[in-house]
């Protein structure tokens, strides 16, 4: 589906679309990482964290990235601030992400490990979840989104160092305790001794890898999330839908 972007804030039309098929390599990598990293299945399955299939980042808002990042509802064609699903409202979305305007379902990406686990355990949850979903009226779904939005507090400055270290610690624990048994199973060498050896190696070597990786991740997020748009990218449309000529002010030098 081709979505025509109009920023709810600055009414600009230029945006950078993020997703699995995003034109930018680093964004594509970030999205594929969310789909492929088995560790992130925990975020999805246990914590109920979801990522919309596409994010539309306005290129002409002169605010940090998180304030110019929009989620599109395909059912009512509305763009909502991505901040609605941040902070406390980032979690518990097991049944899906819903539009605060119409209660429609916002398409999300799904981690491959999550999909495999869900497929294997389907008999245990499918009936119950489907019943729950069927009970959710459009109004109820809308209310979930509105209540979630109300959980938001004014945003405090992000501590990127802490964010990076938390991510590093998370990856460390995943690679120390979850990865070894999976790897042993995958290699067909699943014995307590093998798993134990791999865990000890991961526990010892882990900090050398994940501490610097966490610091790097923090700095990268700081660069990426604070990046501001450019008002020169403001493209306005004429009434007939054609692009209006840009009015660039002379910069006095």
Binding site for Zn ion (CB under 5 A): 7, 9-10, 12, 58, 61, 73, 75-76, 99, 101-102, 104
Q: How far is CA 10 from CA 5, 13, 40, 86, 243, in A?
A: 12, 9, 34, 21, 16
Q: How far is the CB of 64 from Zn ion (least distance, A)?
A: 12
16 or 44, CB closer to Zn ion? 16
CB-CB contact of 233 with 60 (8 Å): yes
Q: How far apart are CA 63 and CA 21, in angstroms?
A: 25
Between 75 and 211, name the residue whose CB sits nearer to Zn ion: 75
Strands 69-73 and 78-81: antiparallel
State the nearest-atom distance from the C-beta of 1 to Zn ion, in Å: 14
As a whole number of Å, the CA-based R_g of the chain is: 21
| Smallest separation, CB 15 to Zn ion (Å) | 8
The structure tokens listed for 30 are: 């970030």
- For Zn ion, give the closer residue by CB, 69 or 113: 69
If the CB atoms of residues 37 and 63 are measured against Zn ion, the closer one turns out to be 63
Contact between residue 31 and residue 19 where contact means Cβ atoms under 8 Å apart: yes
- Closest CB 199 distance from Zn ion, rounded Å: 46
């Amino acid at each position: 589906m081709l979505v025509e972007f109009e920023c709810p804030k600055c009414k600009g039309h230029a945006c950078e679309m993020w997703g699995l098929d995003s034109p930018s390599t680093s964004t594509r990598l970030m999205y594929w990482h969310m789909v492929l990293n088995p560790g992130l299945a925990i975020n999805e399955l246990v914590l109920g964290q979801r990522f919309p299939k596409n994010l539309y980042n306005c290129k002409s808002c002169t605010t940090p990235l998180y304030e110019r990042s929009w989620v599109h509802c395909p059912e009512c064609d509305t763009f909502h601030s991505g901040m609605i699903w941040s902070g406390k409202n980032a979690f518990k979305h097991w049944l899906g992400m819903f539009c605060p305007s119409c209660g429609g379902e916002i398409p999300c990406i799904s981690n491959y490990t999550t999909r495999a686990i869900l497929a294997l355990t389907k008999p245990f949850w499918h009936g119950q979840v489907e019943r729950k979903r069927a009970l959710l009226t459009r109004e109820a779904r809308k209310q979930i989104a509105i209540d979630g939005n109300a959980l938001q507090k004014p945003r405090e400055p992000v501590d990127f160092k802490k964010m990076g270290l938390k991510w590093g610690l998370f990856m460390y624990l995943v690679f120390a305790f979850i990865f070894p048994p999976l790897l042993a199973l995958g290699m067909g060498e699943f014995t307590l001794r093998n798993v134990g050896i791999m865990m000890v190696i991961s526990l010892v070597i882990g900090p050398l890898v994940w501490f610097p990786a966490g610091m790097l991740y923090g700095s990268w997020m700081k660069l990426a999330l604070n990046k501001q748009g450019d008002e020169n990218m403001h493209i306005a449309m004429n009434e007939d839908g054609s692009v209006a000529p840009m009015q660039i002010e002379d910069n006095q030098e």
